[in-house]
Amino acid sequence: MPINIGSRTQKVTAIQMVTAKLSHEVNVFFSDRKVSTTAFQSLAASFFRLADARLSDTQKQVLRMSHELLKHRELTLTALADKVSRRSTLPYSTCKWNLRALKNMGLLNGGNLNSKGQFACLTAEAQMLVDYLEDDL
């Protein structure tokens, strides 16, 4: 995007514009401060304990089964609900509701009314959580 600077015109990218616009703000995601490994491990352990306590047994079951199914194939949320239902004793509607809850918690990505057909995938946090839950069995 050309920007007129005095007597000359300079081409500026969108990233440069955003950087210039937000240069006075502090970026909390990138810092030169070191985070100790112990602090990170403590935070991760707290996340796992909280998620374990917060998720219902049905949600944990659907999460584990989704993890197994999505390792080997690409499925939409609807197809995933169908597969989980067929491989368990859970009704299809229960699977669908629990997949929606996992999606709302930020553990699952997939299509919606505006992006039908998008494949479901577990977030990195959900994959770590499944590993934690399976170690806990």
Dump the DSSP string for 78-137.
HHHHHHHHHTSSS-HHHHHHHHHHHHHTTSEE---SSSTTPBPEE-HHHHHHHHHHHHH-
CA distance 62 to 99: 7
Q: What is the pLDDT of residue 35?
A: 60
Q: What is the pLDDT of residue 31?
A: 54
Q: Which two tokens stand for residue 137?
A: 């069995």
Question: Could you read off the pLDDT of 3-38 as tens digits, one per residue?
Answer: 444 444 444 444 444 444 444 444 444 556 666 778
Q: Which two tokens stand for residue 35?
A: 């985070």
Q: What domains, with CATH codes, occur in the chain?
A: 55-136 (1.10.10.10)
Average pLDDT of the chain to the nearest whole number:
80
Environment class of residue 45 by beta-carbon count within 10 Å: exposed (0-12), middle (13-18) or buried (19+)? Answer: exposed
Q: What is the CA radius of gyration of the chain?
A: 21
DSSP H or E segment with residue 2: strand 2-5
Q: Mind spelling out the 3-state secondary structure of 13-32?
A: CHHHHHHHHCCCCCCCCCCC
Question: Could you read off the pLDDT of 27-73 as tens digits, one per residue?
Answer: 444 556 666 778 888 888 888 888 888 999 999 999 999 999 999 99
Using a cut of 0.85, tell me whether the model's pTM lies above it. Answer: no
Q: Which two tokens stand for residue 68?
A: 């197994």
Q: What is the pLDDT of residue 34?
A: 64
Q: What is the pLDDT of residue 104?
A: 92
Q: Which two tokens stand for residue 114?
A: 């505006």
